[in-house]
Amino acid sequence: MGGTMNLRERKKLATWRAIRSAALRLFEEQGYEATTVEQIAAAANISRATFFNYFAGKEAVVVDQDPEERRDWQALMSDRPTDEPLWDSLTVIMSGFCESLRDVLPLHRRLKAQSPAFAQTAQSFGAQFFTDLRQWVAARVTPSDDVTAILQMNLALAATNTAYETWPADESFEGFLRRLERCLRQAGPGTAID
């Protein structure tokens, strides 16, 4: 995407972002449950039908990732040196991925705590990233290393989930990133590929 987007693609991305921005603002102001698709559409100055051209429902506004984010995390993966230990690469990738969610992850967490309906639908959050990460790991290692590589990837994901699940409600996003760094550091020893 990036610099090669034509005018139509740029307009679609701008509309996607305007809808998301309006929805996130309304969720912050009045709560997830109280916010309707109609209110989001009105705040974004679009029709209800246009909203559904971009999002499957109001939960998708929080769960779906920005269309350009995939390109960014794929670049984060491909930029890792091939001779870098896999765990070091995974640590940089997981930290970079979480950093890219700075604007949405705190809200995502609050909405999960406040809304049982949202918590049920939020399970797919990050699904495309995890798929891309698995493919990147598989392409990076030899078949003889695949068990250890998959173990390292799963440990990195578990460390990230642990940081998220233990992130106190009153702690800043920077606190979450420090917690993530600690979890990744503690999970890493002993998982190096021989």
CB of 152 closer than 8 Å to CB of 87: yes
CA within 13 Å, CB half, 4: 2
pLDDT bracket for residue 122 (50, 70, 90): low
More confident residue, 192 or 163: 163
- What letter represents residue 128's amino acid? Q
Domain 2-62: which CATH number of 3.40.50.11030, 1.10.3720.10, 1.10.10.60, 2.60.40.10: 1.10.10.60
The 10s digit of each residue's pLDDT in 148-190 is 899 999 999 999 999 999 999 889 999 999 999 999 999 986 6
Min mean pLDDT across 45-49, 67-71, 99-103, 169-173 is at 67-71
Domain limits, the chain: 2-62, 69-187
| pLDDT in the model for residue 143 | 79
63 phi/psi in degrees, rounded to 5:
-80, -40
Over range 113-123, report the average pLDDT: 72
Instruction: Calculate the average pLDDT of the chain.
Output: 87
SS3 121: helix
| pLDDT in the model for residue 1 | 43
More confident residue, 69 or 89: 89
| pLDDT in the model for residue 2 | 45
Reply yes or no on whether the pLDDT at 21 is more than 80.
yes
Q: What is the CATH T-level fold of the domain 69-187, as seen in this structure?
A: Tetracycline Repressor; domain 2 (1.10.357)
- What are the structure tokens assigned to 108, written together? 């995502």
Min mean pLDDT across 31-35, 50-54, 73-77, 114-118 is at 114-118
Reply yes or no on whether the pLDDT at 77 is more than 50.
yes
Other beta carbons within 10 angstroms of residue 16's beta carbon come to: 19
